[in-house]
């Protein structure tokens, strides 16, 4: 009797067979030493399609929706190669004493293998090989520590829940919106992750399209070869700027404060998949999908560890092995030497068992990279340098802040000086590691408080710029944090459970949106097409569009993985949502969407004297926002306020005018999306005769107050 090992790819099966001594090549498997090593090539099975349940579900008809199978079944993919290889697997598992699941060590890999074993009616006991790299050492260690398959039942349940959830929503909502709103042969594709992703892009697109560029003027001056900027509000007309300039010429410059602080710049975190995709997009303009393919190839060539991960930490038991891996990175010996001169530190920012689940961050294995493509070399270099940099000392900096004044006008300049480069030595001459908006190192002269002298004032003219379009890098980050703008690494780690999509699927989601022509790329920027905008405008259900709500589903899928939530509960919640969605859309007013004949032109700033858009034109933008209190959409209540559609119960509203000031659409949008406005001048506070400047803030009771 044989033990049958099933890998996910022929190349991986070959590596495993080599280690196990299964040297004899047979039709569809290797054999020897008591083992038969066979393989799938990705998905062999899929959930049954609608027509597999009922003949009438073959046709796209509104009256048949929603389609809710009483139980979900699987079937083999209709492909001759798949069916031939499956028959081989089926014969092997039905005649063996034990099966060893050697699939990719992740949720998708577990699902692929379990479905194959289910379809093959496997009754033999099943063990699980769970490894983080494909080196010979890792495979040997893995076979010495085989796990019982039942340890991964929750992982399988989470994979099943994800597949069933995507089927329920995708199949029903796509048919529902296509038949209700589609025109001609257009298919309106709706997905649990793709639709909120598209909604984020459309929202950004609308902000860009609605943006009206305004000129502004700032006062600047040069004192002792150092440029200072006035810290007053930007001036909105040239006349005021010229008056300010005249005033500055009448007074000397005086230093009022000089402060120098020592600080540190923490080391960059090790890569998870999203971090690697972001960096490769920023530095080489690689798409998320391309980066995933390159790093998967590196993994299969034994050069890096398992890539489909969402943690930036290593398990603590890896610490003793780090020096050996660094030692093996001979092409980087000049960079590793300073680290190897001392014992490798056990840093809390690198090693933390609590932050590692199935796999650790992506690191090199220490194997020598040879015979790889330029693209793979670049991705490997990103991983290797990040790994080395993690063990360097922190970068020590000095930040200098100098304040001054000319008459009564305050001025400021800041400078940053690198005292000890630390980890930045690993990236010497590499500008790509600079954070967005980070200034070059600027060393300021030594100033003394109270010193004064002549200066050279001037007027700087600028223009306000629209919000930035998404790139793949910023879109991936937005998906990871469910649309929240987060720079802090620690906070980003906390939000990952609520991100939309998984690291391994986000690239495919973006590619799907391109393929459906809902988005397009111009240079590195991503824009929504008119079809994409029309589709999101048609969808009234916030459940379909909200990144936050979709992120909540992702959190539940992770809870299923941990055994803290059940597949049945998740399924019932989605069924209820699909039933309600179908009812609401069927009762909706009829409008049609067609594929845009050509992509919309790239947004350009309007001419200087372009009239500002009238308020009614922006009403649709406001209508896409939701009540912060009960999440229902907002309505315009006569000529007095924006109010919750469920106002009689909820009671939330924002008046058009408050404290003597008419609120603009931007003020309302900022209040709903950020919880506060920018500074508003001339607010009339009750009980005071003097108007004040301030921000309107929405407090925890959803009332407005001055902040």
DSSP assignment of 143-158, as one string?
A: HHTPEEGGGGHHHHHH
Residues 6+ apart with CB under 8 A from 499: 310, 479, 480, 481, 482, 551, 554
Burial zone of 520 (CB within 10 Å; 0-12 exposed, 13-18 middle, 19+ buried): middle
Output the pLDDT for position 607: 37
* Listed range (81-85, 368-372, 449-453) with the worst mean pLDDT: 368-372
Half-sphere exposure of 415 (CA within 13 A, CB side): 18
Q: What is the pLDDT of residue 602?
A: 37
pLDDT for res 613: 38
Instruction: State how far the Cα of 296 lies from the Cα of 298, in Å rounded to an integer.
Output: 5
Question: What is residue 136's three-state secondary structure?
Answer: helix
Backbone Cα Rg of the chain: 30
Query: Within 10 Å of residue 460's Cβ, how many Cβ atoms?
Result: 14
CA 414 to CA 400: how far, in whole Å? 6
| 280-304 confidence digits (pLDDT tens) | 999 999 999 999 999 999 999 999 9
Q: Work out the average pLDDT over 317-335.
A: 94
Domains and CATH numbers, the chain: 3-145 (3.40.50.140), 161-210+468-586 (1.10.460.10), 273-389 (1.10.290.10), 617-706 (no CATH)
Mean pLDDT, residues 439-449: 84
What is the distance between the alpha carbons of residues 207 and 204, in angstroms, rounded to a whole number?
5
Q: Per-residue pLDDT averaged across 693-699, rounded?
A: 79
* Listed range (149-153, 280-284, 639-643, 654-658) with the worst mean pLDDT: 639-643
Between 104 and 596, name the one with better pLDDT: 104
Residue 42 — φ and ψ, nearest 5°? 80, -150
C-alpha 163, offset from chain centre:
21
pLDDT above 60 for 16: yes
Best CA proximity match to 125, nearest among 93, 156, 99: 99
Q: What pTM value is reported for the model?
A: 0.76
Torsion sign across C-alpha atoms 274, 275, 276, 280: positive
Active site annotation includes 223: no
Place of tokens 């040239």: 238
Active-site entry in 35, 299, 306, 518: 306
Give whichever of 315-324, 630-639, 678-687, 694-703 has the largest mean pLDDT: 315-324
CA–CA separation, 459 vs 61, rounded Å?
66
Percentages helix, strand, coil for the chain (3-state, rounded to 5) are 45, 20, 35
The pLDDT assigned to 436 comes to: 45
CA angle 702, 703, 707 (to 5 degrees): 110
Encoding tokens for residue 283?
Answer: 């530095």
Cβ atoms of residues 335 and 348 within 8 Å: no
pLDDT for the residue numbered 631: 62
List pLDDT tens digits, range 141-176: 999 999 999 999 999 999 999 999 999 999 999 999
Nearest to 542 by CA among 475, 654, 628, 650: 628
How many whole angstroms separate alpha carbon 329 and alpha carbon 308? Answer: 23
Q: 539 φ, ψ to 5°?
A: -80, 110
Number of Cβ within a 10 Å radius of residue 245: 16
Record the tokens describing residue 274, joined without a space: 């999203």
105 has a pLDDT exceeding 50: yes
Determine the longest span between alpha carbons in the chain, in angstroms: 98
**According to the model, what pLDDT value does residue 276 have?**
97
Question: Is the distance from CB of 173 to CB of 544 less than 8 angstroms?
Answer: yes
The helix or strand, by DSSP H or E, that contains position 18, with its residue range, turns out to be: helix 10-20
Q: Quote the pLDDT of residue 487.
A: 64
How many Cα atoms occupy the beta-carbon half-sphere of 497 within 13 Å? 13
Rounded to whole angstroms, the Cα distance separating 94 from 115 reads 15
Phi, psi torsion values for 505, nearest 5 degrees: -105, -15
pLDDT reading at 604 higher than 50: no
| CB contact set of 469 (below 8 Å; sequence gap of 6+) | 204, 205, 208, 525, 526, 527
86-90, 390-394, 646-650, 680-684: the lowest-pLDDT one: 646-650
Residue 71 preceded by cis peptide, ω within 30:
no
Tell me, what's the pLDDT at 427? 93
Q: Kindly report the number of other CB atoms within 10 A of residue 452's CB atom.
A: 14
Q: How far apart, in whole angstroms, are the C-alpha atoms of residue 366 and residue 350? A: 18
**Who wins on pLDDT, 588 or 181?**
181
In the predicted structure, residue 662 carries a pLDDT above the cut 70: yes
Q: From residue 59, how far is each of 51, 56, 104 by CA, in Å?
A: 8, 6, 36
| DSSP 8-state secondary structure symbol assigned to residue 223 | E
Sign of CA dihedral 472, 475, 479, 481: positive
Cα–Cα distances (Å) from 2 to 26, 36, 39, 250, 470, in that order, read 14, 7, 16, 95, 53
Write down the mean pLDDT value for the chain.
87
Cα 569 vs. chain centroid, distance in angstroms?
A: 27
* Structure confidence at residue 334 (pLDDT): 94
For residue 535, pLDDT over 80 is answered with: yes
Percent of the chain residues past pLDDT 70, beyond the cut: 88
- Peptide linkage before 99 cis (omega within 30 of 0): no
H-only helix segments in 516-609: 530-538, 542-545, 547-561, 567-586
Judge whether 38 and 8 are in contact, CB under 8 Å.
no
**What is the crossing angle of helices 547-561 and 194-210, to 10°?**
150
pLDDT of residue 582: 92
Mean pLDDT (whole number) for 345-372: 90
What secondary structure letter does DSSP report for 446?
P
pLDDT at 230 over 70: yes
Tell me the pLDDT tens digit for each residue of 514-527.
999 999 999 899 99
φ, ψ of residue 349 in degrees (nearest 5): -80, -10
* The two structure tokens encoding residue 243: 């008056």
Percent of the chain with pLDDT over 90: 68
pLDDT at 494: 63
């Amino acid at each position: 009797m044989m033990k049958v090992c099933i890998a996910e790819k022929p190349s991986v099966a070959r590596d495993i067979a080599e280690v196990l001594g299964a040297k004899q090549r047979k039709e569809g498997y290797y054999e020897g030493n008591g083992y038969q090593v066979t393989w799938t090539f990705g998905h062999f099975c899929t959930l049954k399609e609608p027509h597999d349940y009922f003949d009438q579900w073959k046709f796209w008809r509104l009256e048949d929706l929603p389609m809710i199978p009483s139980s979900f079944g699987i079937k083999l993919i209709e492909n001759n190669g798949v069916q031939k290889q499956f028959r081989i697997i089926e014969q092997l598992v039905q005649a063996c004493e034990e099966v060893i699941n050697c699939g990719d060590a992740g949720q998708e890999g577990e699902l692929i293998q379990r479905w194959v074993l289910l379809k093959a009616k496997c009754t033999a006991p099943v063990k699980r090989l769970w490894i983080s790299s494909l080196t010979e050492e890792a495979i040997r260690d893995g076979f010495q520590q085989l796990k019982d398959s039942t340890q991964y039942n929750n992982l399988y349940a989470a994979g099943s829940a994800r597949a069933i959830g995507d089927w329920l929503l995708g199949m029903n909502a796509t048919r529902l919106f296509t038949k209700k709103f589609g025109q001609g042969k257009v298919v309106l594709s709706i997905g649990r992750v793709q639709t909120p992703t598209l909604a984020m892009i459309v929202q950004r697109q609308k902000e860009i399209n609605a943006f009206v560029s305004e000129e502004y003027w700032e006062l600047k001056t040069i004192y002792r070869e150092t440029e200072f900027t006035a810290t007053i509000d930007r001036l909105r007309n040239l006349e005021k700027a010229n008056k300010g300039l005249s005033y500055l010429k009448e007074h000397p410059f005086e230093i009022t404060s000089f402060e120098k602080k020592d600080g540190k710049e923490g080391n960059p975190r090790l890569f998870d998949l999203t971090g690697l995709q972001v960096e490769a997009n920023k530095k080489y303009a690689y798409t998320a999908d391309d980066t995933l393919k390159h790093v998967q190839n590196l993994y299969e060539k034994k050069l890096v560890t398992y890539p489909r991960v969402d943690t930036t930490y290593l398990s603590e038991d890896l610490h003793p092995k780090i020096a050996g891996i660094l030692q093996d990175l001979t092409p980087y010996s000049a960079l590793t030497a300073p680290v190897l001169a001392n014992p490798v530190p056990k840093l809390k920012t690198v090693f933390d068992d609590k932050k590692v689940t199935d796999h650790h961050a992506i690191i090199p294995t220490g194997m020598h990279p040879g015979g790889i493509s330029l693209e793979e070399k670049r991705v490997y270099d990103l991983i290797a340098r990040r790994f080395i940099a993690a063990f360097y000392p922190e970068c020590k900096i000095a930040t200098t802040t100098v304040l001054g004044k000319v008459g009564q006008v305050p001025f400021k300049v800041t400078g940053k000086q690198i005292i000890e480069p630390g980890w930045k030595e690993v990236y010497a001459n590499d500008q790509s590691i600079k954070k967005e908006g980070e200034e070059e190192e600027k060393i300021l002269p030594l100033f003394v408080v109270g010193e004064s002298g002549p200066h050279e004032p001037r007027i700087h003219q600028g223009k306000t710029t629209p919000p930035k379009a998404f790139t793949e890098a910023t879109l991936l980050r937005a998906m990871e944090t469910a649309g929240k703008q987060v720079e802090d690494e620690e906070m980003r780690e906390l939000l990952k459970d609520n991100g939309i999509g998984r690291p391994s699927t986000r690239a495919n989601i973006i590619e799907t949106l391109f393929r459906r022509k809902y988005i397009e790329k111009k240079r590195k920027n991503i824009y929504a097409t008119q079809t994409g905008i029309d589709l999101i405008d048609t969808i009234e259900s916030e459940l379909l569009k909200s990144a936050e709500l979709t992120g909540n589903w992702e959190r539940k899928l992770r809870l299923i993985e941990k055994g803290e939530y059940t597949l049945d509960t998740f399924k019932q919640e989605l069924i209820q949502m699909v039933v309600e969605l179908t009812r609401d859309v069927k009762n909706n007013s009829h409008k049609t969407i067609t594929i845009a004949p050509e992509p919309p032109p790239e947004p350009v700033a309007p001419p200087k004297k372009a009239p500002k858009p009238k308020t009614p034109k922006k009403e649709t933008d406001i209508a896409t926002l939701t009540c912060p209190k009960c999440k229902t959409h907002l309505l315009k209540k006569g000529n007095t306020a924006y109010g919750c559609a469920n106002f009689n119960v909820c009671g939330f509203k924002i008046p058009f005018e408050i404290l003597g000031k008419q609120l603009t659409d931007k003020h309302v949008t900022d209040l709903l999306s950020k919880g506060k406005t920018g500074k508003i001048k001339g607010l009339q506070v009750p009980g005071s005769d003097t108007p004040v400047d301030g921000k309107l803030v929405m407090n925890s009771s959803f009332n407005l107050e001055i902040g």
